[in-house]
Amino acid sequence: MGVTTDGNLCKPYADYLSWLTIHHPLKKTSASVFLFDEGRIKRAIADSVFAERMFGKWKRSGFDSDGVFNKLQPMYVKATDDLNKSKLYGFYQDYFNWPQKYFPSRATA
């Protein structure tokens, strides 16, 4: 028989699991580890509003594109199939372009 992973069916469970992890963590985690939690990254890939909030938290925490790349690289290497790798890379590209969209560099005269 098997279990299928329908996105609509699993979303409430994944959201509740994320909420539990945030509000009742099993162990103390540092802010850096929390910001790059694999469950939060997966949720951000699927939810653009959540992704934008996460991008803002990364920026406020001082992570530039190189810092985010270094944090996401182990997840990319660990990904087993090309679809997950392409989603993760696309997510990184979204973050790379995000500061230019919302915080453009000042024009110099």
Residue 88's domain comprises: 8-102
Query: Residue 1 falls within a domain, yes or no?
Result: no
Residue 94: partners with Cβ closer than 8 Å, 6 or more residues away: 51, 55
Can you give the pLDDT at residue 54?
92
> Would you say residue 3 lies in a domain?
no
**pLDDT digits 0-9 by tens, 69-103:** 998 888 888 887 777 888 888 999 999 888 888 77
The number of distinct structural domains making up the chain is 1
How far is Cα 94 from Cα 37, in angstroms, rounded to an integer? 18
Residue 54: inside a domain: yes
Structure tokens at 41: 């990254």
Q: What is the mean pLDDT of residues 7-13?
A: 75
Residue 109 domain-assigned (yes or no): no
Q: What is the pLDDT of residues 16-71, one digit of tens each?
A: 887 887 777 777 767 778 888 888 888 899 889 999 999 999 989 888 888 889 98
Residue 77: what pLDDT? 84
